[in-house]
Amino acid sequence: MRNNLNSDKRVRVRYAPSPTGEPHVGNIRTALFDWLVAKKYDGDFIVRVEDTDQDRKVEGAIDLQKLSLQWLGLEWDEGLGKAGDFGPYVQSERLDIYLEHVNFLISDGNAYKCFCTLERLEEVRKKQRESKSQIIGYDGLCRQKPENYSNYSISDDCVVRFAMPQTGQSTLNDLVRNQVTFDNRLIEDFIIMKSDGFPTYHFASVVDDHLMEISLIVRGEEWLSSLPRHIQIHKAFNWDLPDFAHIPTILAPDKTKLSKRHGATSVLEYKKEGYLPETMINFLCLLGWSIDGEQELISIDDLINKFNISDLNPSGSVFDKNKLNWMNGQYLKSKTPSQLAKALFDFWIEFPPESFDSVPSQKELEIIAPLISERLKTLREAEEWIAFLYKNKISYSVDDLIQKKSDVHLTNLFIEKAINSLTQLETFDADNIEINLRDLISELEVKPGMFLGTIRMATSGQIVSPPLFESLEILGREKTVNLLRQADHLVKQTINA
């Protein structure tokens, strides 16, 4: 037995998204844990599309799953466009398999056809509620009739129910929660085949997990209550149970389930906000797990080596956006100028910066990136920092140019002097610009902040900007001097007014 798995079969894990919308961070965390386990034990990572609920199907949702996994680098081995020995990997393409298995259960007396109308079912529930019954659900009327144990075909106007054992317990050693036990009698005879000929999730997933030789099922704790159903279906077929790991729910800071009202829940929204894939992987892994309770920044290789699904804390873990921002800042900071330039360049190709009139080249970004890398929390924030370099027009008022304790005449003088000396500068680079402007500051005997504040506003329209001298180098002499002339014009207009 491997140190933390019950089963010693070949490790095969599956991520089983339903195509119902954008991939929630919680689902992607499940995929991440699957992937880590597969990597650690050199196993297979399968992606199976669970689309048996045709009413909830959303066009394009599977492509979004694919994009999310690709973005995070969670490559898979089978399914989602990749062939394998256990396909098809889309449940709606496996209906004949479910039909065959449903009939097997019926012939063995473990499932039966149910013709009860919705009205009758509602009536039954109503009575159960009125009598404060402990069990609310189907009363088993059709289970008693021998004629309901004949072969089911899609044209039959009925559903098929699983004949749940009415006594005993369903129990299992969950890798995260240890021993979990359920009383069978509390569970109704649930539907395994719907009247539209599609299986329910419970049935399809158990059949597929078995046929696809899945050795470990990682899924959210919201599926824990389904476990007794799944255990009993396995038993009815006489199949061995795989390992199960029901992982804790991701909570919002208010300790309720993380949902849209708390902000972004789709992993692709985080991509759009400018978080790095390595941040997301590191961050999502730490929701419910840690190496030693302290280390926060963990490389992928360390995650693969050290991650143990059975070390997960079973109680819910809070999605802390501040921590995510901090972590992303750390990963951004650790990039080399060319890595950061590439990340920014690729980001802006996909999400063009709205405030830019021209798009920076990767080469330019290599110069700019180190100037702002310390200050960034997300790639998206870079736009605001450097917009002035790529906008045709910047805007500010005369008052913005006049710094605290300065006045319009002094401001005028600063700008005139700066134009004069920067025009004559031999080499227009950051070092020379700095020497030159600092000489002016000494000559004028003013506070550096006062002088440089005016120049910064005149050339960027921003109170804060990346380091000024480097910024001016990137702007270039012509643009810098033009901007200073515009400021000069504005100040003179005020003086002459």
57 vs 342 by CB, closer to ligand GLU: 57
| From 82, 127, 145, 260, active-site residue | 260
CA distance 364 to 203: 57
205 binds ligand GLU (CB under 6 A): yes
Residue 229 within binding range of ligand GLU, rule CB under 6 A: no
202 touches ligand GLU by CB under 6 A:
no
Indicate if 127 belongs to the active site.
no
Compute CA distances 295 → 50, 290, 292, 299, whole Å.
Answer: 36, 7, 6, 11
> Quick one: which segment of 16-24, 186-194, 270-278, 398-406 binds ligand GLU (CB under 6 A)?
16-24
What dihedral do alpha carbons 257, 261, 262, 265 form, nearest 10°? Answer: 80
Closer of 52 and 460 to ligand GLU (Cβ): 52
Name the segment binding ligand GLU (CB under 6 A); options: 10-18, 63-71, 303-311, 366-374.
10-18
Of residues 23 and 353, the one with the C-beta less far from ligand GLU: 23
- By CB under 6 A, tell whether 37 contacts ligand GLU: no
Residue 28 tokens, joined: 């992607």
79 part of the interface to ligand GLU, by CB under 6 A: no
CA 54 centroid distance within chain: 25
- The stretch among 13-21, 58-66, 93-101, 375-383 that binds ligand GLU (CB under 6 A) is 13-21
Per CB under 6 A, does 228 bind ligand GLU? Answer: no
Q: Which stretch binds ligand GLU (CB under 6 A): 15-23, 302-310, 374-382, 485-493?
A: 15-23
219 binds ligand GLU, rule: CB under 6 A: yes
Contact 433, 474 (CB under 8 A): no
303: nearest Cα among 319, 324, 318, 287: 287
Is residue 273 a contact residue for ligand GLU (CB under 6 A)? no
Nearer to ligand GLU, 17 or 277 (CB): 17
DSSP E strands in 312-390: the ranges are: 317-318
How many angstroms separate the Cα of 269 from the Cα of each of 146, 288, 345? 54, 22, 18
C-alpha distance across the termini of the chain, in Å: 87
**Judged by CB under 6 A, does residue 396 bind ligand GLU?**
no
d(CA 290, CA 309): 11
50 binds ligand GLU (CB under 6 A): yes
Q: How many CB atoms lie within 10 A of CB 476?
A: 12
Number of residues that bind ligand GLU (CB under 6 A): 7
> What's the sign of the alpha-carbon dihedral 444, 419, 456, 490?
positive
CA angle 194, 196, 201 (to 5 degrees): 40
Residue reference for tokens 């479910």:
98
Q: How far is the CB of 28 from ligand GLU (least distance, A)?
A: 11
Question: Rule CB under 6 A: is residue 18 a binding residue for ligand GLU?
Answer: yes
Q: What three-state secondary structure class fits 79? A: strand
**Residue 223 interacts with ligand GLU (CB under 6 A)?**
yes
Binding site for ligand GLU (CB under 6 A): 16-18, 50, 205, 219, 223
- Residues designated catalytic: 260
